[in-house]
Structure 1
Amino acid sequence: MSLKIAGEVKIASDPCVLAWDNKLYVGTEDGSLKSFQDDLKEELNSWSAHAVQVFALAAADGHVYSASNDGGVKSWSPAGELKATLPVSEGDTTVLRLYGNELYAGDEVGNLLLQVDCTSTYLLHKRTLITVYENDKLKAKYNVLEEVKDLSLSAPYLFTVRDLDATVTEIKPDESKNRFMTRHTMEGSAPLRAAGARLLLMARGGNTLRLHEVSVESRFKLLHELKISDMIVTSLEINGDYAWTGGWDGRVRRFKIDDVKLTPAGELELGSCINALAATAPDTAYAALAGGRMVRVKAG
C-alpha cells in the first residue's frame, strides 16, 4: 500500500512537537502553539506559549498541555487561554502523555509527573520516588528506579525507557497507595508506545523497531524486530493496528501490527528530518519537518 501527501503547510518557525484533539496542535521552535484544521488549509489559532522551543505537547477532550524549559507544565484552552501552570519539576519536561483524565509528564532528570484533573499528581523523582497528591494532600508513593526518556501506559503497566533499557512497572493507585512491582526490564530506547497487548519500541541502536507482547506470563516476550532505517528514528505513533515512524532520514513509514510480526504498509520520502508525528487514524498521520513544513500523509 502506498502513502501520499494529502495536504501541507509552511510556517515561519520549525514545528517540533504535535498533538491531536479534533484539530492539529503544533509546538514550534520559537515557543508558539498553533492549531490547524485537519486538511492544514486554515490556521485556527496561534499564541505565544513559552519563551523558547516547545519541548512537549499533549491534547485531549478540549485540554491542551505544553512544556518547555521555563518551568512547569502549562494548561491551555483550545483558543490559547492559560488555565493553569502545573507544579515545576527538577528538570526540563521532555514528554507529556494523556490517558483519559490523567496527564503524565517525564523530565530529563528522571521525574515523572501525573496530573489528574489538575488536582492529583504522581511524581517520579530521579531518586526513584513516585509521590501522589490529591487536592494538595499526599495520596501515595512509589519507588520505580527509572529515568524517563519516554513513557507509555497500558494499565496496569507503566512503560518507561532510557537510552539503553526499558522498564515495566505495575501500578494500581486506586488499590494501593504505596505498593508497586517492577515486572521486567528489557533492552530498548526511545521512542516507545504501548497499545493493548502489544508494545513497540526502538532497539538500542535507534533504527530497529521491536514488537513485544504485553504479558507477565511471557516476560514481555520479543515477538519480532525489523530494521527500518539506517538512521535514528525520532518518532513512533500507533493508531489502531498500524504504527507510523519517522526520523533523521526524512522517510515516514507505516507498519501493520499483526499478531506476532510487523508488516511494512507504506513508505514516503518527505525530504527533511522528521521532528514529530501524530497518527490520527490508521490511514492518516501528520509529520512535522525541519525547515518549517507540516505534512498530512494518507495511506491508500
Structure 2
Amino acid sequence: MSIKIENETKIESDPCVVAWDNQLFVGTEDGSIKVFDANLTSGASWSAHTVQLFALTAGCGYVYSSSNDGGIRVWTPKGEKVKELPPTGGDVGVLHIFGNNVYAGDEAGNVVIYENNEEKAKYNVLEEVKDLWFHSPFLFTVRDLDVTVTEIKPDESKNRFTTRFTVEGRAPLRATGNRLLFMARGGITLQLHDNSVDTGFKKLHEVKVSDMIVTSLSVIGDYAWTGGWDGHVRRWKITGDKLESAGEINLGSCVNALDTSASNTAYAVLSGGRVVRLTA
C-alpha cells in the first residue's frame, strides 16, 4: 500500500516538534509555534521561546512548550500566554497529555505531572527521559538503553513509585491498548511487546523499520507510523502479535517529528522547513 502527500507547506525555520489536537501545532528551530488546520492552511503564529523548542503538546484547551530558556510555557491555541510552570530541574525534552494531566520528562530524570497547570506529583527515574508514556498504573520511560516500567499512583503519593520491569530498548516509545511499541537499542528496529505485567511485557515481534535512526513514532489504534534520518515515513499495522507493513513514502530529507490525526493520516515535519500531510 502506498502513502501519498495530500498537502504541503514550507516555513522559514526548520520545524522540530509537532502536536495534533484538531489543529496542527509546529514548533520550530527559532522558538516559534505555528498553527495549521487539517489541510495545512496557516493560522496563528507566535514567538514562544528565544531558542529551539524541545517539546510540544496540545490538549485540554492549551498548548504546552519547552526549551532551555525556562520552564514549561502554557498558551492558548491562539498564542496568548497563560502561565509559565516552574523549572523541573532539567531541560524538558518530553511533553504529553494523558486524560486531564500533563506529563513532563527532563534530562535530570524527573517526570512531573501537572493538573490544572499546577504540579501534582514528581518522580525521579534516575536517568534522562527521552520519551515517556502513561498507561495506568504504569509509567514507561526510556532513554537509549532501557525501557523502565514504573508503577505510580499520583492520587495517593506525589513522589513514591515502584519499579516493576526493565526492558532493553530506546526512544521513541508508545502504548496502545494491550500493546507496547518502542525501538530496539540500535534505533532502526521497532519492537512490539505485550503491554501486561502478567507476561513481563513479553516481546512479541520486531521488524526493521529504517536504514538509519528512527526519530519519531506515532500510534493510533492498530496503526503505527515511523520516520527518521533516512527520510522515509512508514506505516505499520498491528495484527495480533505481529507488525505488518502498511505503506511507505520517501520524503527525501530527515523526518524530525511526526504525529497522527487518524489511522490513515499523519503529519511529518522535515529538515529544510517542509511540513507535509500524508494519507494511506
Q: If the TM-score is normalised by the length of the shorter chain, which range does it land in?
A: over 0.9
Tell me: CA distance 1:114–1:176, structure 2 relative to 1, closer, same or farther (3 Å): closer
Q: Does 1:235 align with 2:216?
A: yes
Q: Does 1:119 align with 2:100?
A: no
Contact 1:208 1:228 survives alignment (8 Å): yes
1:211 aligned partner: 192
Offset of residue 90 of structure 1: 2.0
**What is the Cα-based RMSD across aligned positions, in Å?**
1.2
Cα deviation digits, residues 204-247 of structure 1 (max 9, x gap): 00000000101111100000011111200000000111000000
2:170 aligned partner: 189
Q: Gaps spanning 5+ residues in structure 2: where?
A: none
Cα deviation digits, residues 108-145 of structure 1 (max 9, x gap): 12121111111233223xxx3xxxxxxxxxxxxxxx44
Percent of aligned positions that are identical: 63
Offset of residue 170 of structure 1: 1.0
Q: Does 1:159 align with 2:136?
A: no
Q: How many residues align?
A: 280
1:268 aligned partner: 249
Contact 1:96 1:104 survives alignment (8 Å): yes
1:141 aligned partner: none
- CA distance in structure 1 between the aligned counterparts of 2:176 and 2:93, rounded to whole angstroms: 21
Contact 2:10 2:273 survives alignment (8 Å): yes
- CA distance in structure 2 between the aligned counterparts of 1:249 and 1:121, rounded to whole angstroms: 40
- TM-score of the two chains, using structure 2 as the length reference: 0.97
2:64 aligned partner: 65
Q: Gaps spanning 5+ residues in structure 1: where?
A: 129-143
Contact 1:71 1:89 survives alignment (8 Å): no
- CA distance in structure 1 between the aligned counterparts of 2:159 and 2:31, rounded to whole angstroms: 38
Contact 1:73 1:88 survives alignment (8 Å): yes
1:279 aligned partner: 260
SS in 2 for 1:50: coil
Contact 1:106 1:149 survives alignment (8 Å): yes
2:151 aligned partner: 170
1:30 aligned partner: 30
SS in 2 for 1:54: coil
- CA distance in structure 2 between the aligned counterparts of 1:145 and 1:16, rounded to whole angstroms: 26
2:43 aligned partner: 44
Offset of residue 194 of structure 1: 1.0
Contact 1:106 1:112 survives alignment (8 Å): yes
Offset of residue 96 of structure 1: 0.3
Offset of residue 47 of structure 1: 0.3
Q: Does 1:290 align with 2:271?
A: yes
- CA distance in structure 2 between the aligned counterparts of 1:114 and 1:199, rounded to whole angstroms: 21
- CA distance in structure 1 between the aligned counterparts of 2:239 and 2:130, rounded to whole angstroms: 27
- CA distance in structure 2 between the aligned counterparts of 1:178 and 1:9, rounded to whole angstroms: 44
SS in 2 for 1:217: helix
1:134 aligned partner: none
Tell me: CA distance 1:217–1:72, structure 2 relative to 1, closer, same or farther (3 Å): same
Aligned-partner residue type, residue 203 of structure 1: A
Contact 2:122 2:159 survives alignment (8 Å): no
- CA distance in structure 1 between the aligned counterparts of 2:37 and 2:117, rounded to whole angstroms: 27
Offset of residue 179 of structure 1: 4.7
Offset of residue 146 of structure 1: 4.2
- TM-score of the two chains, using structure 1 as the length reference: 0.91
- CA distance in structure 2 between the aligned counterparts of 1:146 and 1:193, rounded to whole angstroms: 19
1:74 aligned partner: 73
